[in-house]
Amino acid sequence: MVSIAQNILQVRHRLNAACEAAGRPADAVTLLAVSKTCPPEAVREAFATGQRAFGENYVQEALTKIEALADLQPRPVWHLIGPLQANKTRVVAEQFDWVHSVDRLKIAERLSAQRPAGLPALQVCLQVNISGEASKSGVTLEELPALAQAVSALPRLTLRGLMAIPEPAEDVAAQRLPHRRLREALEALKARGLALDTLSMGMSADLEAAVLEGATLVRIGTAIFGARPRPAA
């Protein structure tokens, strides 16, 4: 049975090869290990390899995991990458380092107001519905500039960039298109004067395409921790 440590090594090889193919330095892209539905012991195993950034989709599950792993030093960097409801913003503002899934001003305002003064600013990305899917969360490209300007002005938050979960595609050329649109959206916001540096895009199946289009953070779950169990009916 292949271990989590071996999987991380393989993913890092893929990431380095993708950076080389894109003409980018190997340290240009951060690996975010998506540990949703994984037990704390799996995160511990990944942490032992030097992995420090972990992504969680479900707030309550993540809080249990953060508490169980509170002894790890240095403290893991916790990223919320799943949808965030207004009634969960306080605990997220208190416990997480990053939120990738901000898609409306109300959520950003609550995170800003509830971020404890003793902590560094909460790092946030705006989630863009880049493929226009009805089932996906995210702001539209048309609504993005106004939301970005408003969020960038909030205290206790630092707007870092954009996140998207594109519609699946089979080949690299097709996979690159939505990633390119997200990169162009980021560049347009930077041209408006916003100091952004993060493109959270690319998962186990489309890592290479995302890196070719400028991803600075890839969210890898299955290739590290294995296939997720199907939820009970």
Question: CB within 8 A of 147, min separation 6: which ones?
Answer: 103, 104, 105, 126, 139
CA angle 42, 44, 49 (to 5 degrees): 100
**HSE (CB half, 13 Å, CA atoms) of 147?**
24
* Two structure tokens written together for 201: 């895009």
Instruction: Reply yes or no on whether the pLDDT at 232 is more than 60.
Output: no
pLDDT of amino acid 30: 98
The domain ranges of the chain are: 4-225
Please give the average per-residue pLDDT across 146-174, as a whole number: 96
Q: Provide the whole-model pTM.
A: 0.95
At residue 2 the predicted structure's pLDDT band, cuts being 50, 70 and 90, is confident
Average pLDDT over residues 81-105: 97
Q: How confident is the model at residue 233 (pLDDT cuts 50, 70, 90)?
A: very low
Residue 231 pLDDT grade (very low, low, confident, very high; cuts 50, 70, 90) = very low
Say whether 141 sits in a helix, a strand or coil. Answer: coil
- Is residue 203 within 8 A of residue 220, CB to CB? The reply is yes
Residue 230: the pLDDT is 56
Share of the chain above pLDDT 70, in %: 97
Query: Which sign does the torsion angle of CA 175, 178, 184, 189 carry?
Result: negative
CATH of domain 4-225: 3.20.20.10
**CA dist list (Å): 49 to 3, 42, 156, 171, 224:** 11, 11, 32, 31, 12
Tokens of 231: 């939820």
* Both structure tokens of 10: 């393989």
Average pLDDT over residues 63-67: 98
Structure tokens at 224: 């590290």
The predicted pLDDT at position 203 comes to 96
**CB neighbour burial string for 106-122, b if at least 16 within 10 angstroms, e if fewer:** ebbbbbbeebeeeeeeb
In contact, 137 and 129? CB cutoff 8 Å: yes
Average pLDDT over the chain reads: 95
- Residue 187 · residue 150 · CB < 8 Å: no
Is 70 exceeded by the pLDDT of residue 229? no
